[in-house]
Structure 1
Amino acid sequence: MVRKKISRKIILEFYQDIQRWESMVGYAANELLFLDTLLHAKAFENTAQIKTEKMLCFKLEIKTKNQEVNELKTQMELSKNNVGAFLDCEVNSGIEFSFKDYKVLKRNFGLFNTSYNQYKTEIFKHTGGIL
């Protein structure tokens, strides 16, 4: 197996990606608190049955999204620590960097970000129509 040497500059860019994703996931966690409060607002208590069922689905999905956020935060912390440790090592330490964890995290973040933005859009469309 041939191993390709990666520049520290590229690995630093990976680290910056992880920091950016970490910030975005933190923001999503705060938004989920707002969305949960919004979905439990009194304004939505006496809506039609169909809308009530949709609201119940949104409320249940918040639990899933919070779980996804927590899992991503854990993955990011591990990945950030690993990349950070690599960057802190001596240049000639012989430690090799693996793309595997970074690629998995990048994929997981992308999937979460897409599904979360769709979920948020659906909630705003639905609640905006009621208000």
Structure 2
Amino acid sequence: MLPARHRMSSSRDFAAAVKGGRRVGRRSIVVHVANATNASPVPASEGGPGLVVSVADVVTPAPRVGLVVSKAVGDAVTRHAVARKLRAAAASVTGELNDGALVVIRALRASVDDDANELAAQLRSGLTKLGAL
């Protein structure tokens, strides 16, 4: 299970990673990566550029991971099984991710046949290629 601080829940973050980031495809997954500080600016009303803060007050954001497992992967039982394997794979690499990284893992149909270790290896390979590890 991913800790709450590493879970991506905002549609803005998903869009930033998928549309504004870089991606790499592997056999069973596609990995999208963006930097949170560059990809999704925070409006002034939420403490963004309109707010002046000292360097001591700036907290480096934790990396966040989101999953996309569509109906193309299979029925609900299959999708949930794939999502569990992907969450385990993501949990194994979150400690090594760059601070502020937004990572979206999109499952492909081939992910149904892979075990958690194979998915973790593909994820690690993709993140290394994108420079997020």
More strand per residue: 2
More helix per residue: 1
Same fold (TM over 0.5): no
TM-score, L = length of structure 2: 0.25
Radius of gyration: which is bigger?
Answer: 1
